[in-house]
Amino acid sequence: MRRVQQKAEPCDDRDGHYIVVPGREFTPRFKIRRLLGQGTFGKVMECEDSQSGRLVAVKVIRAVPKYRDAARIEVRVLQTLQRNDPPNKYQCMHLNETFEHRNHVCMVFELLGPSVFDFLKENEFRPFSLHHVQLFAEQLLRSVAFLHRLNLVHTDLKPENILLESGAYDLVPFGRSQTVQTHMLKSTNIRLIDFGSATFDNEYHSQVVSTRHYRAPEIILNLGWSFPCDMWSIGCIIIELLTGEALFQTHDNHEHLAMMEVVVGAAPSHIVRATQSDLRSKFFRSDGSVRYPPPEQPRVSQKGVRSMRALSQIVSPSTNPIYANLHDLLNRLLQFDPRARITAEEACQHQFF
């Protein structure tokens, strides 16, 4: 990894984030145009590359040892993906190059469109058409099957980590209304991004992974996790694209498990039994149902759980054969028991596609 030297001037905030100033030269080669996004890891900027004349996305990692170390692991994962799929037929984001600059690990990527989440938000969270959901799901499953073949678990699948190749759209009438218009994508091609939490299955697994809304039950119950946790996340994503809103909107373990129970049914008895006794008595009653509201918060609002619907009400299998197939796929993705969940390879062959 080469280092770019430049005279020092204060350019980081107190947390080690690079301060993005549009129009400023980041390095002699890259000129900043705008901030594209940011997270705990650092920031992503749109830059002009004077060498190629193209616009690129530059991910600038926080100048903090923990995040620098994580970035080096991410670079290793990205290089593994590229080495195993040079033509990028599995649509995982490819790394153009990496360098260090003022104590920041930097990664250069192709500049693409907005994330699927940002497109949804811009479109006032109006859902995608069933056909577009089908196309997104098929591509996502192919990308994840490729990762799993390489012994990699993504661990952070969510609409924010799925980029559209292009955000170009047409305005079309929404539903039966002729006055309300919705954004209809011209292209549904996607690219899977953010391998900062990706983990080789035979290497160290941190205890808690995944963004809350997309977190599988085995992670909450501390039962260990592997490839199936990605499949649970995909089930949650498909429903979100179809309805326009996240399936499990919560930040609490008790509430999350109670919501899961409404959507997919009670946890199988062997899963309850496998849970450590302290967690088992905390989360479950003696009959195996979720203990909600929790004894320590008897007056907690149950509105969130009461607003949940069973999977067959969210996607009715009796609507038509396509919905029946979609319901079957979701039912296999959202199994409480990770070992009963469909694999990415199997899901790619599902009759929904």
State how far the Cα of 174 lies from the Cα of 11, in Å rounded to an integer: 46
In a shared domain, residues 242 and 311: yes
CATH number at residue 9: 3.30.200.20
In a shared domain, residues 189 and 124: yes
Domain count of the chain?
Answer: 2
State how far the Cα of 58 lies from the Cα of 45, in Å rounded to an integer: 5
Q: Which of 56, 75, 110 is the last residue of a domain?
A: 110
Does the residue 126 lie in any domain? yes
In a shared domain, residues 120 and 75: no
Cβ 19 vs Cβ 12: under 8 Å: yes
Q: What is the pTM of this model?
A: 0.95
In a shared domain, residues 99 and 137: no
Does the residue 135 lie in any domain? yes
- The enclosing H or E element of 120 equals helix 116-122
In a shared domain, residues 101 and 142: no
Which pLDDT score is estimated for 295? 86
Judge if the upstream peptide bond of residue 295 is cis by omega within 30 degrees of 0: no
Which pLDDT score is estimated for 7? 52
In a shared domain, residues 192 and 260: yes
Q: Which of 57, 84, 110 is the last residue of a domain?
A: 110
Catalytic residue among 49, 156, 278, 328: 156
Q: Which of 77, 110, 143 is the last residue of a domain?
A: 110
For 80, phi then psi, to 5°, come to -65, -45
Does the residue 84 lie in any domain? yes
Find the domain containing 257 and state its range: 116-348
In a shared domain, residues 266 and 204: yes
- Reduced to 3 states, what is the DSSP secondary structure of residue 104? strand
In a shared domain, residues 168 and 260: yes
Which pLDDT score is estimated for 296? 87
In a shared domain, residues 32 and 128: no
Low-confidence ranges of the chain (pLDDT < 70): 1-10
For 264, phi then psi, to 5°, come to -115, 0
Which pLDDT score is estimated for 5? 55
Which pLDDT score is estimated for 192? 99
Nearest to 194 by CA among 171, 168, 161: 161
- Residue pLDDT, tens place only, 183-215: 999 999 999 999 999 999 999 999 999 999 999
In a shared domain, residues 222 and 247: yes
Catalytic site includes residue 156 = yes
Does the residue 353 lie in any domain? no
Which pLDDT score is estimated for 9? 62
